[in-house]
Amino acid sequence: MIQFPEESKMYEERGFAARVGFGENPALLIIDFIKGFTDTECPLGSNLDVQVENTAKLLRIFREKSLPVHFTTTAYDPEMISAGIFVKKVPSLAHLKLGSKWVEIDERLKPQNGEVVWIKHYASAFFGTSLSSALLAKRIDTLLITGCTTSGCVRASAVDACQHGFRTMVVRDCVGDRSNYAHEANLFDLNAKYADVVSLEEAIEYLSKLSK
């Protein structure tokens, strides 16, 4: 774990990094733990075994308590029209075409009936989807975020979650990135401005205290 002691002190002195805290009605958002990102045979992939296993622990608790679970995948039409300018910046996105195995959710986290898989085209789980409306319809006030990558889709989704008014909890042990430097720097910045970065233990303790 990379530490930023000087920056942390400066941020706290200037009124950043306060804690929002957990609410009463949580949902789990599992971002892009798809085969294209968790299998190193795909150019987009990296070893995220630990993060997937930790997310599976959290997922089991949500299912045991019958709490809402949402997944995302990133997938495009065969001609990549829906990828817009994004694919010009990241040509490897061409691997993520509808029907390809790479856009499927990792088998270790296979969705069950009643769990939505949102198809997105860009970084944020909220952009171009009805995720916010679905959460608000269930009176969700707290969003626990897991997935990949920390510097990309996790970050964008956490920022949007904050902007949509949710108590945003990024579970440190359940998110990962191709670059550890990008991972740590983005967790630091998210915790300073947009979300509470919490441990898996904190998340489990919170869920254990819920009545339902």
Residue numbers annotated as active site: 153
Instruction: Of 79, 100, 93, 95, give the one whose Cα is nearest residue 122.
Output: 93
Instruction: Of 162, 166, 173, 176, give the one whose Cα is nearest residue 198.
Output: 173
* 212 SS3 class: coil
Distances (CA, A) of 124 to 82, 90, 131, 142, 194: 15, 16, 10, 17, 14
Pair 53, 90: CB distance under 8 Å:
no
The rounded distance, in Å, linking the Cα atoms of 11 and 167 is 20
Instruction: Of 23, 30, 66, give the one whose Cα is nearest residue 165.
Output: 23
